[in-house]
Structures are given as structure tokens and as C-alpha cells.
Amino acid sequence: MRNEVRRLRAARGLSQQALGVALGVSRQTVNAIEQDRYDPSLPLAIRIARHFGLTVEEIFHVDDA
């Protein structure tokens, strides 16, 4: 799964740390998601989408199906 998190975060001038705090996760988690090392849980994905005022599907793109 690819995602737009890095782009959205950078566009707002936030650090990974700051975004992590806003989302209630560690900066390592933000980093891992941005680099596609793993997918966020569903509740975290929904919080991310809300944070950026977008839908989950606008931020997270399934490669295969």
C-alpha cells in the first residue's frame, strides 16, 4: 500500500515528531508508515485521514486490488 502521508505532512511543514504527537503515535510509527514499512491500523488510518481533512481512500492506495 502506498500513501500520501509524507507529501501531506511536508506540505504543512510538520515534523514526523509533531505529526506523531497529533495522531497519538510515536515518530517511528509515522516514519514507518511514510516509508511503507507497514500499514497503519484502521483506527490510525482514519485519524490520519481526519487530520488532513481527507478520506482514507484518498490517502492510502492499494497497489494490487
Partner DNA sequence: CATGGATGTAAAGTAAGCTTTACATCTCCA
Partner DNA sequence: TGGAGATGTAAAGCTTACTTTACATCCATG
Among positions 3-62, residues that touch DNA (CB under 7 A) are 10, 15-17, 20, 24-29, 31-35, 38-44
Distance CA 13, CA 64 (A): 31
Partner from DNA, a copy of itself, none binding residue 56, C-beta < 5-8 Å depending on class: a copy of itself
Closer to a copy of itself by CB, 16 or 60: give it.
Answer: 60
Q: How many CB atoms lie within 10 A of CB 50?
A: 12
Phi-psi region of 6 (alpha: psi -120 to 50; beta: other; left: phi over 0): alpha
CB of 58 to DNA, least distance (A): 18
